[in-house]
Amino acid sequence: MSLPPLSVLCDLRPAFEGFYGIPTETRLMFSLLHDLPGIKPTGLINHPSKVLRRSFGFAQPASQLTPAQRIRAYSRLAASAGKESSHRAEIGLKLFDAAKLAWFHGSAKLGIGLSLDQFDGTEFGDFLWQSLFSKSLSPSEFERCRTTQYAALWAPWSALHAAALPSSVGRYAHVNTRGYDVFIAQTPWPGKVTDQTRLLVRYHDAMPIFLPHTVKLSRLHQFFHMSALSENAKSAYFACVSEFSRSQLLKIFPEIEKRTFVVYDRVGDDYFPPDEPREAVREIIKNRIDPSTHLGPADSRIARYDIKRSTDDFRYILAVGALEPRKNYEGLLAAWERLRSSPNRPTAIVCVGSPGWNNSGLKSAFRRWQAAGELFHLSSLSSSEMRTLYASAEAVVCPSISEGFDLPSVEAIRSGAAVAASDIPVHREMLGEAALYFDPYSAQSMSDTIARFLGNSAVKASMQAKIAKQASRFDKSVISEQWQHILESCRNPSPARG
């Protein structure tokens, strides 16, 4: 006798945000779930910070509404996720939202739960695509994103977290997830689900706990992360992105070992050794300079920046990640400056990532080399553009002092790139023998390791077999099996709880 499909509600909240990291993994994971046998996924639309306008609950059949009523409800919800162009309208909406949030906190204090709303994306495909999926998925997936099932939670993720503040409510809101067997939450989730639903937390890293000084708004972030994690640890399952991430989690809650699994991040299908000529690199750099880059007058930019970029022998090392302390860009910059005295020094250093935080000193150091046309800060690149940059670099450098998974390092080896990585546990786990390693706290160790790749194609050639073997560990089929295993573990109607 065949089992009924497992109904899985999937948190899409991070997909409203950037191009890299958790937002990318959220989109790719949601896509993968649709290809798993016996799994029936539903996307949960929940904004990080905006109050969404309510449509109508699942207790009210859509067939009882007129077409105009249904379309109006869905349209209002979609509109509430966008930006207001009018300052006056924005103020009015904030006052309205404040009133709703006050009602939410009062309801949570009284133990009144939140219900999910319906959302039919059939006529709102562009909203779904542009808001959630276009930054990471292939256009061929547009139709599936448009026609799949969705639910919506009007209270923003930030408000759900705020409910834990002692000065506020001091308890998490209960969300009615009746009808779903599993709810996959990205990062520790600030809420409670219906008893019949298994909460499965996608656990990326414990940086807010073990490296709180490196995260944005460190005290608040640490409190929210630890509070939600402590609540989740009472009964949830955890799908950790690496063995290292799992080990960090078990240091905090050793009693949940039997409820923890490892499921690697899915890597996009666009990452493979490319055939595109290196000439494409110059156009990518020209078109993707981060808006925060300031180079002075246009004439100065042409003379000192564009000319160097356009040379036929343009060579560079590449680093990918937000400009934030944990990524160790300052260490990389110090190592690169040491390399400049070498006859085989790279022409440039290319950094790809969002502007980040806690980095005023780093940005000042960047400006000197940006003005000289030797450092390029890029952002908002497509996966195909990233593939070209990875494969064309003299070396991809991954200098982080800690990571939960480090998606760029895996994208790099999937693209056939030579990788120099910090000698930290997760890099050893993800890259194995497919990389050269350095001490992340030593500029000399880093520069010496990078130098082994510069002007020496034989080193990269000798590693190609190891790179290809390691990259195969992240094939879609492998990740699919990992997800299938943990979701089947959640199917048990009365799994052991810690």
Reported as a pLDDT band with limits 50, 70 and 90, residue 108 is low
CA-nearest of 270, 295, 444, 280 to 377 is 295
- Mean pLDDT score of the chain, rounded to an integer? 88
Reported as a pLDDT band with limits 50, 70 and 90, residue 472 is very high
Encode pLDDT of 25-60 as tens digits.
999 999 999 999 999 999 999 999 999 999 988 878
CA-nearest of 42, 273, 246 to 148 is 42
* Distance (Å, whole) CA 402 – CA 406: 9
Over range 449-464, report the average pLDDT. Answer: 89
Q: Facing residues of 378 across strands? A: 289, 352
The amino acid present at 86, given as its one-letter code, is S
| Domains contained in the chain, CATH given | 6-267+477-491 (3.40.50), 279-473 (3.40.50.2000)
Q: What is the pTM of this model?
A: 0.91
Encode pLDDT of 319-334 as tens digits.
999 999 999 999 999 9
Task: Give the DSSP per-residue string, 374-390.
Answer: -EEEE-S--HHHHHHHH
* Distance (Å, whole) CA 442 – CA 416: 27
Please, what is the Cα angle at 7 between 119 and 201, to 5 degrees?
95
The amino acid present at 189, given as its one-letter code, is W
Which pLDDT belongs to residue 310? 55
Encode pLDDT of 218-234 as tens digits.
999 999 999 999 999 99
Check: CB of residue 366 under 8 Å from CB of residue 374.
Answer: no
pLDDT at 106 over 90: no
How would you class 140 by CB atoms within 10 Å of its CB: exposed for 0-12, middle for 13-18, buried for 19 or more? exposed
pLDDT at 101 over 80: no
